[in-house]
Structure 1
Amino acid sequence: MAGTRVSYGATVDIPHADLTVDEDLAARLVRAQFPALAGPVTPVAQGWDNALFRLGDELAIRMPRREVAAHLIEHEQRWLPELQRLVALPLPVPIAEGRPTAGYPFAWSVIPWVDGIGGAHVSPHARDAYARQLAGFLAALHVPASADAPHNPVRGVPLVTRAAAIHARLDGLAGRLAADELAGLRAAWDAGAATAPHKGPALWLHGDPHPGNVVVAPSGRLATVVDFGDVTAGDPATDLAAAWLHFTPAGRAAFIERYSELRATDAALWVRARAWAVSIGTSAFAASDGSGPMARMGREAIEQLLRQD
Structure 2
Amino acid sequence: MSQPEAGRLHGAGSAGEGPAARAAPRPPAADLPVDVQAVGALQGFWLPEPGISLEHCVWRLGAQPLGEGWDNVLWPVGEADGTTLVARVVRRRSARPLLAREVTVLRHLAARSDQLAMRVPAPLATAKDALLIPWLPGITAAEADSAGRIRAGEQLARMLAQVHSSEVPLMERSTVRGVPLSTRAHAFAEDLERAELPPRCEAHAVDRWERGLAARAWTGEDLLLHGDPHPGNVVVDDAAEGNRVVAALIDWGDTTAGDPASDLGALLLHGLGAAPLETYRASASWEGIEVDEIWGPLVARAHAWATRMALSLTGAYPSNHPLGQVAGRLLRG
Give the counterpart of 1:78 among 104, 109, 112.
Answer: 104
TM alignment of 1:42-57, pairs within 5 A:
42-57=64-79
How many residue pairs get matched? 287
Is 1:200 matched up with 2:220? yes
2:271, 2:246 → 1: CA distance?
Answer: 14
- Name the amino acid aligned to 1:13: P
Among candidates 241, 248, 254, match of residue 230 of structure 1: 254
What amino acid is the match of 1:297?
V
Separation in structure 2 between the aligned mates of residue 78 and residue 203 of structure 1, nearest angstrom: 15
Structure 1 residues 168 and 22 mapped into 2: Cα distance closer, same or farther (>3 Å)? same
Matches within 5 A, 1:3-152: 9-11=8-10, 12-19=24-31, 20-30=33-43, 33=46, 37=57, 38-41=59-62, 42-57=64-79, 58=83, 59-85=85-111, 88=116, 89-99=118-128, 107-143=129-165, 145-146=167-168, 148-152=170-174
SS in 2 for 1:160: helix
Deviation at 1:121, TM superposition (A): 2.0
Could you tell which deviates more after superposition, 116-125 or 71-80? 116-125
* Residue ranges of structure 1 left out of the alignment (5+ in a row): 1-5, 100-106
Contact kept, 8 Å, 2:173 with 2:256, in 1: the verdict is: yes
Give the aligned CA root-mean-square deviation in angstroms. Answer: 2.5
Amino acid in structure 1 at the alignment position of 2:34: V
Deviation sequence 1:62-94 (CA, Å, 0-9, x none) = 112233223211111122111334552332132
Which amino acid is 2:260 matched to?
A: P
What are the ranges of 5 or more consecutive residues in structure 2 without an aligned counterpart?
11-23, 48-53
TM-superposed deviation, 1:207: 0.7
TM-score (norm 1): 0.83
Distance change (3 Å), C-alpha of 1:256 and 1:9? same
Cα distance in 1 between the residues matched to 2:169 and 2:139: 35
Residues 136 and 258 in structure 1, CA contact (< 8 A), matched pair in contact too: yes
**TM-score normalized by the length of structure 2:** 0.77
Q: Cα gap change, 1:17/1:145 in structure 2, threshold over 3 Å: closer, same or farther?
A: farther
Shift of residue 211, structure 1, vs aligned partner = 0.7
Distance in 2, Cα, partners of 1:7 & 1:71: 17
Name the CA distance, whole Å, in 1 between partners of 2:151 and 2:173.
32
Give 2:122's aligned amino acid: V
- 1:283 matched to which residue of 2? 312
Q: Which runs of 4+ in 1 moved over 6 A?
A: none
